[in-house]
Structure 1
Amino acid sequence: MLEVLSFLDVVDKFNTEQLKIQQGIGDPYWCQKLLAYIEKSYLVKEIELSR
């Protein structure tokens, strides 16, 4: 599912999920998956830009 969303959509989803976690209604596992995807995507983009 994450591959379908744009990078900015994933970052927005992560921020929304973090707010839900702070309110006690979010899913920490889903938030962790989003963060891992963001980190992986960011590293890939950095490598591509540095070429």
Structure 2
Amino acid sequence: MNKMTKGALATGLDVALLLGGGGTLAVWNKSVAEPAGTITSGDLELTAGTGT
């Protein structure tokens, strides 16, 4: 088997795995509509305090 044939077979196998595995992604993803609330821009000021 020459290099061109090996490369073509490897590429074909990779594409088949990507397409076959891509169908299962939707099983693990779920979206829910939630109210986003208000986004306020400004300065973020953090102060350190004592831990409890």
Shorter-chain TM-score: which interval? 0.3 to 0.5
Bigger relative CO (Cα 8 Å, ≥ 6 apart): 1
Between structure 1 and structure 2, the one with the greater Rg is: 2
Normalising by structure 2, report the TM-score. Answer: 0.45
